[in-house]
Amino acid sequence: MAPLLAVKDLRTHFFTRAGVVRAVDGVDLAVEKGKTLGIVGESGCGKSVTALSIMRLLPEPPARIVSGSIHFDERELTTLSQRQLEDIRGRQIAMVFQDPMTALNPTLTIGTQLVEVLQRHLGLDKGAARRRAAELLEEVGIPRARERLDDYPHRFSGGMRQRVVIAIAVACEPRLLIADEPTTALDVTVQAQVLDLLDDLQREHRMAMILITHNMGVVAESADDVAVMYAGQIVEQAPAGELFARPEHPYTEALLAALPDLDDPRARGRRLAAIPGRPPDLLDPPQACRFAARCPYAGCADSCPVEPPILRELRPGHWVRSAHPASERQPVPA
């Protein structure tokens, strides 16, 4: 069965005065129907640009998809006109943004903003759209939904607003939901609730989901598959259980090692692990392996700085872009 969304060799570059920023440089992704793909990586690694490229929401110029294909449900999104895209956005693919404080228009009631989408895509009349809007609010867990339709966004807390944003996104039952750091701007206690809500909605509506985050815990909880991004490329991709049990890429290992472990008694008083160095400048990325400068296994003897590693399948479904995956390393003499 063909995946719902297949991204192949996507390259999105920003053409700025300072030069070409290779924000996304050869990303391959596949999302199966009804499954969740988690994309993790640190700030500036191209997670959001990938998402916005799929939605074709990046301002062009300065951004441009220079090559690659985005195949969604037997349509090629990279060649569609903005008009055709408008029919897909919200109806087939919807997006939840990071900051619920800015993603709602402060001058319109949330009812207006929900009804707008429902009328746009489903052709409902005003009354039917309002009834459906109230149902949606109820579904995302907003009490007294019918009365709250006429409230302005400033009357809602951050978590409640994110619920409204999610209600708008799922209003027309899209087949793919892209959640770009949906919990980053929220309190920790609210984060779990919002993730649960996304999980529930996904199951009920049988949506596929791309969950973008820099929080390993979030991915572990919700994702079926995980792609780890670094400097505009995917460096490792595997089913979630497999990735956490047997990480292969040195970067993934370092990310997992950086998580504080409260259960480990020895962790007390010890410094948290960090990854030395900084991600490369995407204006002028390294010719070969982009992680080489920070990689503890890259020695002067091997080819890391010269030859770019390719994404290869180490085990079925487990892809790695490194010359030194964990399973191929020689045990280091102590």
Partner 1 sequence: MSATQVAGRIAGIEAGAPIRQSSLWQDAWRRYLRNRGALAAGSVFLLIVVGCVVTPIVSPHDPNRIHFTDAYQGPSWAHPFGTDQFGRDLFTRAALGGRISIGIGFGATLAILLIGVVYGAVSGFVGGKLDNALMRFLDALYGLPYLPFAILALAIVGTVTFWTMVVALSVASWFITARVVRAQIITLKENDYVRAAKAVGVRWYMILGRHLLPNTLGVLVITIFLELPGVILGEAFLSFLGLGINPPDASWGSMAQDGRDAYRAHPHIIVIPSLAIATLVLCANFIADGLRDALDPRTKET
Tell me how far, at minimum, the Cβ of 223 lies from partner 1, in Å.
21
Tell me how far, at minimum, the Cβ of 135 lies from partner 1, in Å.
17
Interface residues toward partner 1, by CB under 8 A: 55, 57, 61, 85-91, 94-95, 97, 99, 102-108, 113, 116-117, 120-121, 152, 155, 165, 168-169, 171-172
User: Smaller CB distance to partner 1: residue 10 or 51?
Assistant: 51
The count of C-alpha atoms lying within 13 angstroms of the C-alpha of 244, restricted to the half-sphere facing its C-beta, is: 15
Q: Can you say whether the dihedral through the CA atoms of 274, 276, 281, 287 is positive or negative? A: negative
User: Smaller CB distance to partner 1: residue 104 or 195?
Assistant: 104
User: Smaller CB distance to partner 1: residue 117 or 216?
Assistant: 117
**Residue tagged 């309190």 (tokens):** 187
Tell me how far, at minimum, the Cβ of 13 lies from partner 1, in Å.
18
Residue type, 222: S
Tell me how far, at minimum, the Cβ of 177 lies from partner 1, in Å.
11
Tell me how far, at minimum, the Cβ of 103 lies from partner 1, in Å.
4
The residues that bridge with 27 in the sheet, in sequence order, are 10
Q: Do you know the residue count of the chain?
A: 334
User: Smaller CB distance to partner 1: residue 162 or 222?
Assistant: 162
d(CA 288, CA 294): 13
User: Smaller CB distance to partner 1: residue 159 or 325?
Assistant: 159
User: Smaller CB distance to partner 1: residue 113 or 213?
Assistant: 113
Task: Tokens for 145, please give them.
Answer: 């939904």
Tell me how far, at minimum, the Cβ of 94 lies from partner 1, in Å.
6
SS3 256: helix
**What is the three-state SS of 282-331?**
CCCCCCCCCCHHHCCCCCCCCCCCCCCCCCEEEECCEEECCCCCHHHCCC
Sequence-ordered list of residues with C-beta below 8 angstroms from that of 72, at least 6 positions apart, any chain: 4, 5, 6, 54, 88, 92, 93, 176
